[in-house]
Amino acid sequence: MKSNRLKTINNFKELVPANKLAFKYINDGVNITAEVVNNVLAFSGLNITQETLNTLLSYPRLNFFNLDLSGPKASKDPRPQRGLDLNTINSNEFKKNLGTTKDKVPGVYIWTHISTGDKYVGSSTQLARRLNGYFKGTHADAGKLIPLIKKEGLSAFNLQVIILKDNYVFNQELLLEQYLLLHPEFNLNTLRVVNSVLGARSKALYMYTKDFSELIYSSDIQEDFIFKFKIHHTSFTKSLSTGVPYLDKYIFTNAPVLGAINKNMSISEVQAMLGKDRLEINLSKRTSNQVLIRDVNNVNDTKLFNSIKDCIAYLNTIASSSRTTLLRHIESKTPYHNYICEWYGNKISPIKNKAMQINITNINTSEVETFSSFRKAALSLSTTGPTLKTFADNGKLFQGVYMITYVNSDFVE
């Protein structure tokens, strides 16, 4: 049986020149623009326009002062509790803006050491969860910031948070973090390149129709297919190794196929195409295609249709409607022409899988091992899964040598 420890050299090697370039910009006092950010992150495939960067920088900032006023809390944990501050994370301001550890609120946070002005910047798509680790003292003792917090307490710091809720686009928090990292005052960060992009393997991937007649999309970074199109790595890996078509329509290769016609499809076009394909598959798995619609303003106003076609015919009397759009609103549970639309009777929900990929990168050798769970990854380093996840979340090196990165996402097959 093939081992799940897939060893490869990823773009971690690119971090060294990228980090050197970042420090050169810092030391030369270069004015940091979107172009400078894009130059540093050229290896990752991430980029930003100056207009978008200006918008992100204009977002309001939440400020949390006078931290650690609550003093040490009673705890069964024998470890030192200095710096523990539960008042802040339990405050109305924190909960209202950042939610709970289960909420997905993306953004950037900045710790400022009051006496020196030194700063640390980090980012997360779940800010409450990340910041809870600082306030509860659960982050690993690594880098410069955590030891300083444990030594002087949270009262030695101020916290600033930039929330990116409005019109958020995936990875914007990383781009804003990278912009800030290129400023000299953020010297509590040990790296000046956002390490969350290190999981992106600079390995080409091509997606064709299953008869290889047309090239749908290609990228030099495989994770583009994960993040842009919600295709999990196990799907294209299976296609690469066995030739089994993805969604029974597409084949993946690591090299271009001669004679194939390049469709030159945009990202949005591919996303729309795959969305339609997935909806069709989900629909084909249903034993009942009856559709129930309910007026959002009147729960007693319901209508039942025996088919999608009949439902569309009715909705067309209200406004122009389409089958694809109706299916999308059914799956997203959002109103369509002021109606909530849902499957009625024997409903089968889309098949949703929880998938994970953990990469362990040895920064001395650039060798990468890939695992399907934190438990399996932890066994290779004689530690525990929660410990590794802590290092992955705070971006610190495990044992001073290993960079832990991961992708954890829901995807539909």
Helix 127-135 / helix 385-394 crossing angle, nearest 10 deg: 110
Q: Worst-scoring range by mean pLDDT, 135-144, 194-203, 361-370?
A: 194-203
3-class secondary-structure state, position 111: strand
173 three-class SS:
helix
pLDDT over threshold 70, residue 251: yes
Tens-digit pLDDT profile for residues 283-329? 666 656 788 888 888 877 888 888 888 899 999 999 888 888 888 88
CA angle 157, 122, 359 (to 5 degrees): 135
Instruction: Give the integer Cα–Cα distance in Å for 127 and 176.
Output: 14
Q: Please state, in angstroms and rounded to a whole number, the distance separating the CA atoms of residues 19 and 401.
A: 17
Specify the pTM. Answer: 0.47
Average pLDDT over residues 331-341: 85
Strands 261-262 and 214-219: parallel
Query: How far apart, in Å, are the Cα atoms of 32 and each of 40, 199, 370?
Result: 11, 25, 35
CB 19 within 8 A of CB 192: yes
Return mean pLDDT, the chain: 79
Structure tokens at 150: 């444990």
Pairing outcome for strands 339-343 and 157-163: unpaired
Contact 73, 87 (CB under 8 A): no
Q: Which residue has the higher pLDDT, 406 or 3?
A: 406
Looking at residue 354, its pLDDT comes to: 43
- Do 180 and 121 form a contact (C-beta atoms < 8 A)? yes
Give the other-Cβ count within 10 Å of 288's Cβ: 12
pLDDT tens per residue, range 205-240: 899 998 899 999 988 677 778 778 888 777 787 788
| Bridge partners of residue 340, in order along the sequence | 294
Q: Which residue has the higher pLDDT, 390 or 3?
A: 390
Distance CA 283, CA 231 (A): 19
At 148-188, the pLDDT tens digits run 998 998 889 999 999 997 778 878 999 999 999 999 999 99
Residue 278 sits at the vertex; the CA angle it makes with 277 and 280, to the nearest 5 degrees, is: 65
Strands 367-371 and 352-362: antiparallel
- Each domain of the chain, given as residue ranges in start order, spans 11-197, 205-268, 286-343, 352-412
| pLDDT tens-digit map of 348-400 | 444 344 456 788 877 666 677 888 888 888 888 888 888 888 887 766 778 87
Give the helix ranges, DSSP H, for 90-232: 92-98, 127-135, 145-152, 172-181, 223-229
> Within 10 Å of residue 356's Cβ, how many Cβ atoms?
15
The pair of structure tokens assigned to 375 is 């438990």
Supply 161's token pair: 């948070």
Dist CA 368 CA 226 (whole Å): 19
d(CA 260, CA 62): 52
Instruction: Report the candidate in 322, 300, 296 with the shortest Cα–Cα distance to residue 311.
Output: 322
Write out the H or E segment, with its range, that includes residue 355: strand 352-362
Q: Are 49 and 34 contacting, i.e. CB atoms less than 8 angstroms apart?
A: yes
**Over the Cα atoms of the chain, what is R_g?**
24
* Higher local confidence (pLDDT), 131 or 80: 131
- Packing angle between helix 172-181 and helix 50-57, nearest 10 degrees? 80
pLDDT bucket at 345, cuts 50 / 70 / 90: low
Conformational region of residue 380, where left means phi above 0, alpha means psi within -120 to 50, and beta covers everything else: alpha
Q: Residue 203: which pLDDT band, with cuts at 50, 70 and 90?
A: low
Among residues 200, 174, 226, 225, which one has the least CA distance to residue 13?
200
CA distance 393 to 196: 9
Q: Is the pLDDT of residue 27 over 70?
A: yes
The pLDDT-based confidence of 70 (bands split at 50, 70, 90) is very low
Residue 73 has what pLDDT? 41
Q: What is the CATH number of domain 286-343?
A: 1.10.10
In the structure encoding, which two tokens stand for residue 34, read together?
A: 């979107």
